[in-house]
Chains A and B, each alone.
Chain A
Amino acid sequence: QVQLLESGPGLVKPSQTLSLTCTVSGGSISSGGYYWTWIRQLPGKGLEWIGNIYYSGSTYYNPSLKSRVTISVDTSKNQFSLKLSSVTAADTAVYYCARGGTTVTYFDYWGQGTLVTVSS
C-alpha cells in the first residue's frame, strides 16, 4: 500500500518561499510509471493542480503558477518537494501530494494534506 505524507512549515510570511516535502512509502519513486504531484485546496474552495515530477526529474507545472513553482525529487530519500516563491495570503491552502500515472489520467493515492497559512 503506497502512502504519502506531507511535511513542512504551517506558517509562511508574505513574500517568502513556501517549502513542502512529500515522503513516499510502500513503493519506490524510482520504479517509474508515475507522476508525483502537488495539488492544493484553497479555503472552502475546490482543487487546483500545481504540478508534477517524474522520477527522472522532468517537471510539468500549472501555467497559472509556473513562474513561482519548483518541484524537485530526491530518489535516494524517496521524496519529492514543492517550492512556491513570493507567496501572498492567496496562497493559503491545504497542500496535498498525490500519485498520478504516466498511462492513466487520475490520482490514485493522496497524502493527508497539510495546511499552510501565509501571514505575517
Chain B
Amino acid sequence: ETVLTQSPATLSMSPGERATLSCRASQSVRSYLAWYQQKPGQAPRLLIYDASNRATGIPARFSGSGSGTDFTLTISSLEPEDFAVYYCQERSNWPLYTFGQGTKLEIK
C-alpha cells in the first residue's frame, strides 16, 4: 500500500503570499496524483489531476508539479477563499485509492 505524507500539517500565511504544499509518496505513483481542497462543512473539490492539470473551473493561481514520489501544490497569490484543508490522493495500486492526511492552510 502506498502511503502519502503531506507537509507541513499546518501552514500559516497571509493573503497575497505564495503557498507551497508538499505530498510525498512511499513509492512511485508516476504522475497519478490529485489534489483536493476542502472547506468546513463541504465535500472535497478536485483542484489538480495527473500531478499538474487543473480541473475545470480552477483558477490559474493553483498549479501542481512533480512525478514519482515528490509532488507540490503551489498557490501563487493567496486569496481569502483559499484558506482550507488540502489533500493529495493517488491510485497507483489499482483498485486501491489512498489520501494524504491533509495540510491545513490558515490565515496568519
Contacts and interface: CB of A to CB of B under 8 A. Distances in A.
A100 B94 CA distance: 12
Given A108-B55, A112-B43, A46 B49 contact: no
B44 to A, nearest CB: 6
A105 B34 contact: yes
Nearest to B32: A105
A14 interface: no
Given A47-B99, A52-B95, A106-B49, A111 B43 contact: yes
Residue with the highest number of chain B CB atoms closer than 10 Å, among A37, A47, A98: A47
Interface of A: 35, 37, 45-49, 52, 60, 62-63, 96, 98, 100, 104-108, 110-113
B6 to A, nearest CB: 9
B76 to A, nearest CB: 22
Contacts of B97: 37, 49, 100, 105
Interface in B18-62: 32, 34, 36, 42-46, 49-50, 55
Contacts of B96: 49, 62-63
Contact of A46 (B92, B95, B99): B99
The list of the 6 closest CB pairs from A to B, nearest first, reads A106-B34, A60-B95, A105-B91, A110-B43, A49-B97, A47-B99
A113 B95 CA distance: 22
